[in-house]
Each structure stands twice: as structure tokens, then as C-alpha cells.
């Protein structure tokens, strides 16, 4: 038993060294949340901290950076019906939009959040990542030659969405500087056929010229990803292959639709399903301008041959019908039909 007079109880605290920061200063870069942290302590003890708390979510931040890199500044040259149709989806995906057209579409551009430029020099000085040519086929060359491409960045990506492909490919390659990237595309749908969305609809593309560096390849993929995200069926083929197929899938369809329109077909009380399909074909094809149809003929070398084949097919069907009619008449006239005339009667 200790006496209070003869003993003194002293409490000793361990000697502390300088205080250490358990987290690096805010100005330093943090490591991944799953990285182990080595914190030296007195006596050589090492503490490993796994899944240490971080000031923000790195996965979320990385996803945001990736999404930012996939956002593009797209200049739509030719802001007519089809250009506006594409712009609505581009804007919904968060891309920055610029618009230029010969007509004043400033109010329509504003409605989808696009900046409108009447002067192409002002448009090009904004340095878009992508210049999208969405003019009519007939006016594409004239419009392209009015663009001051020397005001653009020297590796700008040009994309066309014309309904023929060999013509714009040759036009872009011969007109643009050699450092510009070129992708020829054709969304095989429009405002009418895609009113319920783009899911499952074919999108044809040909990477005609894309620079061999990561940034330019990533930009090309980011543009194509716009259509992939909407569920399009991505079809990569050469421009020549496209035009060979499109002569049948598109030009033939438009030709038949316009021929039927000349007949001024009307709905009847006894419509069949097939007849209603023909009426819808007239509506779908004639809702497009005649310039589009004329362009499909003028700028696709396969269209002339197809038109000749269509004419031959019509003549063949007519010949088969009339040959059958002539066979019936011959039997009536010469093979004892009761309605055949009596050619043996001799008048006296």
C-alpha cells in the first residue's frame, strides 16, 4: 500500500513526433480508391489502408470524361428537312450544333439549340469537329465550293449523308485538302420512315479516309456512335457497293411510287392490303422532293440500266397479256368457235 506522503504517481504520455497527414494535400493527385496506402509509424509499423475514402467517385468522373470526349461540335451544312431531322437527335445526345443554309433557318435552328450562321466564313471560324454535308444531291457541289475550308482546322472530318455515294466520295476527295478526313454515309431512313425511332434501321457508311492517329480515329468512331446508340443496324460497305444496291432498293422504289402517283389512285370501299401498300408507297415517295428523285437518277450510274430493265419488264408483261388475248381471238376466228365468221360462203 502506497502512502500519499512518500510516493508520487506520474502519468506519462508517449512522446509524439511531428503530426503526419493521413491524406495527401488537396492539390496532390489521389490514387485509385482500391490502391493500398503505406503510412509509416513510430517503431517501423506499417499500416495498409484498402478502399480508403476518396473525396469524389473516380468511376463516375472517368465516365463523365469519356462522355465529354464523345461529344462533338457538328456543323450541319444544308439545314433543310433532313438536316433538321438529324439535328434533333444530335442535340438530344448532347452534341454542340452549328447550322448553315442558303435559306434563313435561324428560328428552326434555335428550336433545337443550334447556332445558325448565314455566312459560311463565320461557321468555319468556329472550328467544328465535324462538317456534315446534308444538302440536296443536285446542289452538293455548288455548296461545297462556297465553303472557305481554309478557315477550318487542317484535319477536320467531313461527312455526307447524300442518297448516292460514289458522287460525293469523288467530290470530297477532289475538293478538300488531303489532310481532311472523309466518311461517306447514308442513313437509309428519313422523317417519315423513322418517326418511331431509328432502332433496327440500316445506316450505311464507308470510312473513305481517316487519319492514322488515335484522336482522329476516336473522332470518327464518336460520330458513328451517334447512330449506333440509337439502335441503327450499322452496315459498312464501299460507296460502289452501296450505289449498286441503292439503284434497286431506292431508285426503283421511288420510280414505282411516282408512276403510281401519275395514275392518281384513290382509296376505295374495297381496298385490299396490297392496294393500301401501294397508296402508302405513293405517300412515302412523293413526300420527298423531285430533286431527290432526279439526283438518284443523275448521280447513280446504275439507275439508267435499272430504268431500261423496268421498261423491258413492263413490255414483257404487256406482250404476255396480249399474246394470250390473241390466242383466244384466233381460236374464235379459225377453230370453229360459234362466234367465228363463215369464210366459206360465196356470194352469187
Consecutive H or E run containing 85: helix 81-92
C-alpha cell at 321: 397479256
Query: For residues 24 and 263, which has the higher predicted lDDT (pLDDT)?
Result: 263
pTM, two decimal places = 0.73
pLDDT (mean) for 146-161: 97
**pLDDT tens-digit readout, 84-111:** 999 999 999 999 999 999 999 999 999 9
Range in 34-43, 82-91, 102-111, 189-198 with the lowest mean pLDDT? 34-43
Please tell me the distance from the alpha carbon of residue 256 to that of residue 278, in angstroms, as a whole number. Answer: 9
pLDDT (mean) for 255-259: 96
Sheet holding 73-77, edge to edge: 115-116, 96-100, 73-77, 130-133, 157-160, 181-187, 202-209, 233-236
pLDDT bracket for residue 225 (50, 70, 90):
very high
pLDDT bracket for residue 22 (50, 70, 90):
very low
Nearest CA among 243, 244, 172 for reference residue 209: 172
Nearest CA among 103, 239, 265 for reference residue 182: 239
- DSSP code per residue over 135-188: S-TTTHHHHHHHS-GGGS-TT-EEEE--S-SHHHHHHHHHHS-TTSEEEEEEES
pLDDT (mean) for 108-137: 97
pLDDT (mean) for 48-67: 54
Q: What does the mean pLDDT of the chain come to?
A: 85
The angle subtended at Cα 263 by Cα 261 and Cα 265, nearest 5°, is 75
117 within 8 A of 99, measured Cβ to Cβ: yes
Q: How confident is the model at residue 34, as a pLDDT?
A: 44
pLDDT bracket for residue 44 (50, 70, 90):
low
Amino acid at each position: 500500500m502506497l502512502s500519499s506522503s512518500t510516493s508520487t504517481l506520474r502519468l506519462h504520455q508517449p512522446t509524439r513526433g511531428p503530426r503526419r497527414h493521413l491524406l495527401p494535400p488537396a492539390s496532390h493527385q489521389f490514387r485509385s480508391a482500391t490502391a493500398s496506402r503505406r503510412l509509416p509509424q513510430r517503431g517501423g509499423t506499417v499500416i495498409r489502408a484498402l478502399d480508403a475514402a476518396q473525396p469524389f467517385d473516380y468511376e463516375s468522373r472517368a465516365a463523365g470524361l469519356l462522355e465529354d470526349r464523345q461529344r462533338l461540335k457538328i456543323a450541319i451544312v444544308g439545314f433543310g428537312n433532313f438536316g433538321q431531322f438529324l439535328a434533333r437527335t444530335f442535340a438530344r445526345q448532347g452534341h454542340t450544333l452549328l447550322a448553315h443554309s442558303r435559306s434563313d433557318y435561324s428560328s428552326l435552328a434555335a428550336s433545337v439549340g443550334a447556332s445558325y450562321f448565314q455566312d459560311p466564313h463565320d461557321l468555319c471560324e468556329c472550328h467544328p469537329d465535324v462538317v456534315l454535308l446534308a444538302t440536296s444531291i443536285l446542289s452538293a457541289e455548288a455548296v461545297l465550293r462556297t465553303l472557305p475550308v481554309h478557315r477550318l482546322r487542317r484535319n477536320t472530318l467531313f461527312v455526307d449523308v447524300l442518297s448516292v455515294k460514289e458522287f460525293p466520295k469523288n467530290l470530297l476527295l477532289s475538293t478538300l485538302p488531303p489532310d481532311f478526313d472523309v466518311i461517306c454515309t447514308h442513313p437509309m431512313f428519313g422523317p417519315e420512315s423513322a418517326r418511331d425511332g431509328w432502332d433496327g434501321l440500316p445506316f450505311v457508311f464507308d470510312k473513305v479516309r481517316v487519319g492514322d492517329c488515335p484522336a482522329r480515329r476516336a473522332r470518327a468512331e464518336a460520330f458513328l456512335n451517334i447512330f449506333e446508340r440509337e439502335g441503327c443496324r450499322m452496315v459498312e460497305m464501299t460507296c460502289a457497293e452501296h450505289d449498286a444496291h441503292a439503284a434497286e432498293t431506292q431508285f426503283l422504289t421511288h420510280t414505282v411510287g411516282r408512276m403510281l402517283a401519275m395514275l392518281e389512285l384513290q382509296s376505295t370501299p374495297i381496298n385490299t392490303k396490297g392496294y393500301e401498300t401501294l397508296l402508302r408507297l405513293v405517300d412515302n415517295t412523293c413526300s420527298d422532293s423531285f430533286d431527290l428523285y432526279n439526283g438518284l437518277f443523275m448521280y447513280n450510274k446504275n439507275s439508267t440500266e435499272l430504268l431500261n430493265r423496268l421498261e423491258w419488264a413492263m413490255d414483257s408483261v404487256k406482250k404476255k397479256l396480249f399474246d394470250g388475248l390473241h390466242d383466244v381471238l384466233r381460236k374464235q376466228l379459225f377453230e370453229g368457235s360459234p362466234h367465228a365468221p363463215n369464210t366459206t360462203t360465196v356470194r352469187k
